[in-house]
Chain A
Amino acid sequence: EDKVVQSPLSLVVHEGDTVTLNCSYEVTNFRSLLWYKQEKKAPTFLFMLTSSGIEKKSGRLSSILDKKELFSILNITATQTGDSAVYLCAVRFTSGTYKYIFGTGTRLKVLA
């Protein structure tokens, strides 16, 4: 059965800390891995990763994929209270269906 597992399930840090969120997957026909940030209801897109070892970076956020070990990490440096959200990992399949399956998410709370 295809699955995406995220850890930790929740995390509380203080402003300025660095956090690492993990996503591991077991899927057939892997195409790409995506990270989303969900603050209220609508997840917003952060990164899409298709190749191993190539870091994607946007401001204080960065992510990398390891297709051999089947995992990805999302790093957030110098965290701010505005980073408080649920971070979702999703995997897309190679088949023509463009199907995504999501993990359960990591709930991050950043304290001032």
Chain B
Amino acid sequence: EAGVAQSPRYKIIEKRQSVAFWCNPISGHATLYWYQQILGQGPKLLIQFQNNGVVDDSQLPKDRFSAERLKGVDSTLKIQPAKLEDSAVYLCASSFLGDEAFFGQGTRLTVV
């Protein structure tokens, strides 16, 4: 079974630039999560999709972050404009209903 695919693996941008991350979940997994993990902290949920609908985006900074999951499969997370404090690893995960979540390799974002 193929795992959760994410790209890119690394990204360096200047502050105020925009960036986008892509995630392809495990086939058949209806639930997709985007987490932000700042160095030394646990993952923080940014947004959760169930199929192509948003279930929870309470911690998503909506003035600069956006995400979509068209057709209930792939998802894109965008940051525009980026700030220094957005430097983190962005993790995508998927799960089949209430089973354990499987994580992708993540994207390490550095904002300079």
Contacts and interface: CB of A to CB of B under 8 A. Distances in A.
Q: Do A and B come from one complex?
A: yes
Interface of A: 4, 6, 31-32, 34, 36, 40-45, 48, 88, 92, 97-105
Given A41-B91, A104-B41, A105-B42, A97 B102 contact: no
A103 B33 contact: no
Interface stretch (B13-21, B68-76, B79-87, B104-112): B104-112
Where chain B touches its partner, the secondary structure class is: strand
B91 A42 contact: yes
A45 B26 CA distance: 15
A32 B104 CA distance: 22
Interface residues of B, number: 27
Contacts, number: 59
Nearest to B102: A45
Nearest to A10: B40
Nearest 6 A/B pairs, CB to CB:
A41-B106, A102-B42, A104-B42, A42-B103, A97-B55, A45-B100
Given A31-B98, A41-B91, A102-B44, 13 more contacts: A4-B42, A41-B89, A42-B91, A42-B106, A48-B99, A88-B43, A92-B98, A98-B50, A99-B48, A99-B55, A101-B45, A103-B42, A105-B42
B100 A48 contact: yes
Given A41-B91, A97-B55, A88 B105 contact: no
A105 B89 CA distance: 15
Where chain A touches its partner, the secondary structure class is: strand
Nearest to B58: A99
B31 interface: yes
Contacts of A97: 48, 50, 55-56
A99 B100 CA distance: 11
B95 interface: yes
A42 B41 CA distance: 14
A8 to B, nearest CB: 14
* Interface-centre pick from B31, B42, B103, B106 (highest chain A CB count, 10 A): B42
Contacts of B102: 45
Contacts of B103: 36, 42-44
